[in-house]
């Protein structure tokens, strides 16, 4: 039997009962013992249930009036409790020490949480990384960076989300893992060819890592790495998990090996899962350069099918035929997830998307849609393709813009093109 774990409501009831029972004892016996003193005793020798409740009382003790003698014992006791066998007791103690805002107490709490990021129980790992994300110290940042290498995809994702809001220096491998955990393998190309060996090594990780690494390898023109990636993800087409098969199909589309078409067609025709079929079908379109069929999929009323096609369009060698349909969909969709994917994909169209985006911004009556279009325009490959005439057009659009939010976005683009002195 594992350590006792209580829900928040159950925990609150236990804390209330402990305090009530303690004060009841005071009334009946005339003792001068207070609930904090009792909690200090229980947290070190009670049952799991008692230690959890006692640790909660101590962690929340700042709102309780107690003697200075007892108060001086609370934080040292919580520090000792960081070594408790029950991870929930450890987490509660860590939270109490973090709330103290005392760097000398926060440091050991962070160390305990960093260890629990590798705990065998998923809920303990996630509790630890989520609590670390609330602490703005070098120690917590280092622990979150280390969590990018966790075997748990949820832990990696939570760590990446927290690190996105921090200023931190990462090694090439850490940056690679950060982008993969953030669900942004397309950004790894900006790190250069030196990360290719790192990506090849990550193909041996879990299915999510393998898919992300393969998608990133597809951004490089490296035949040896592509061959290894194709072999690894092709094996995943037979995985019992539909999500893994979807990822494998998407990765094969990105890797550009036409030899994978027969396997993808078989999956598209025979897989029992609708999303696997759609992903395999789109990947086959990409490998055959069938932009006509891909555009038809963009018109599917199912947002998930659209997103599959939008992601597939990133991997087309010639995106000329999909630029206009992608921009049109960006102007009419009401699905926020679809908008986010479209902004990324239109950006990867580079110079081909420049003139259509500028034209669409100038003719679009809805400011919210103009903002979407302007955000797509911000992609580095599009901005890098702009000449003086394009900059003049952008300046005119900015001058004529009546919405402050859109104007701010257009101003930012102009500042990138022509940084203020």
In this structure, is residue 175 part of a structural domain?
no
Using CA atoms, how far apart are residues 45 and 58, in angstroms rounded to an integer?
A: 15
Are 203 and 283 found together in one domain? yes
Are 321 and 381 found together in one domain? yes
Are 202 and 270 found together in one domain? yes
In this structure, is residue 331 part of a structural domain?
yes
Are 348 and 261 found together in one domain? no
Are 258 and 324 found together in one domain? no
In this structure, is residue 369 part of a structural domain?
yes
Tell me the residue range of the domain where 235 lies.
195-288
In this structure, is residue 408 part of a structural domain?
yes
Continuous H helices in 182-222: 196-202, 207-217
In this structure, is residue 44 part of a structural domain?
no
Using CA atoms, how far apart are residues 16 and 12, in angstroms rounded to an integer?
A: 6
CB atoms within 10 A of CB 400: 11
What three-state secondary structure class fits 35?
A: helix
The CATH number linked to 229 is 1.25.10.10
Mean pLDDT, 10 residues at a time, the chain of 421 residues: 51 49 40 74 91 92 65 87 95 94 94 96 96 96 97 96 94 97 92 97 96 95 96 94 96 94 96 95 95 94 92 93 97 96 94 96 97 95 94 96 97 92 69
In this structure, is residue 271 part of a structural domain?
yes
pLDDT for residue 65: 60
DSSP track, 311-370: HHHTT-S--TTTHHHHHHHHHH---HHHHHHHHHHHHHTTHHHHHHHHHHHHH---HHHH
107 CB-contact burial (10 Å; exposed 0-12 / middle 13-18 / buried 19+): middle
């Amino acid at each position: 039997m594992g350590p006792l774990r209580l829900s928040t409501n159950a925990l609150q009831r236990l804390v209330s009962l402990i305090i009530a029972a303690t004060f009841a004892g005071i009334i009946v016996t005339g003792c001068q013992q207070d609930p904090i003193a009792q909690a200090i005793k229980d947290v070190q020798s009670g049952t799991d249930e008692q230690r959890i409740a006692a640790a909660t009382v101590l962690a929340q003790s700042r709102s309780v009036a107690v003697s200075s003698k007892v108060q001086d014992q609370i934080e040292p006791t919580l520090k000792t409790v960081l070594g408790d066998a029950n991870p929930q007791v450890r987490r509660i103690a860590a939270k109490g020490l973090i709330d103290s805002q005392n760097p000398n107490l926060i440091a050991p709490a962070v160390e305990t949480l960093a260890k629990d990021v590798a705990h065998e129980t998923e809920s303990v790992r996630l509790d630890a990384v989520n609590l670390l994300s609330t602490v703005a110290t070098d120690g917590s940042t280092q622990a979150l960076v280390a969590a990018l290498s966790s075997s748990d995809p949820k832990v990696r994702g939570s760590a990446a989300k927290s690190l996105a809001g921090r200023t931190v220096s990462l090694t090439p491998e850490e940056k690679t893992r950060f982008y993969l955990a953030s669900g942004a393998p397309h950004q790894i190309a900006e790190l250069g060819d030196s990360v290719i060996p790192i990506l090849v090594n990550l193909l041996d990780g879990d299915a999510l890592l393998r898919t992300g690494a393969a998608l990133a390898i597809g951004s490089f023109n490296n035949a040896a790495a592509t061959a290894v990636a194709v072999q690894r993800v092709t094996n995943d087409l037979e995985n019992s998990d539909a999500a893994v098969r979807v990822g494998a199909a998407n990765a094969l589309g990105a890797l550009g090996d036409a030899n994978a078409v027969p396997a993808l067609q078989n999956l598209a025709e025979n897989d029992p899962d609708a999303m696997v079929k759609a992903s395999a079908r789109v990947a086959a379109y990409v490998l055959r350069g069938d932009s006509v069929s891909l555009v038809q999929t963009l018109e599917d009323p199912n947002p998930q099918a659209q997103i599959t096609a939008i992601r597939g369009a990133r991997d087309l060698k010639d995106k000329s035929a999909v630029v206009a349909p992608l921009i049109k969909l960006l102007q009419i969709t009401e699905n926020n997830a679809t908008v986010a994917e479209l902004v990324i994909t239109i950006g990867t169209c580079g110079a081909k998307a420049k003139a259509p985006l500028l034209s669409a911004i100038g003719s679009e009556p809805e400011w919210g849609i103009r903002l979407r279009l302007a955000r797509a325009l911000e992609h580095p490959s599009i901005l890098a393709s702009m000449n003086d005439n394009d900059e003049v057009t952008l300046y005119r659009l900015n001058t004529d813009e009546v919405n402050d939010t859109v104007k701010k976005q257009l101003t930012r683009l102009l500042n990138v093109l022509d940084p203020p002195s």
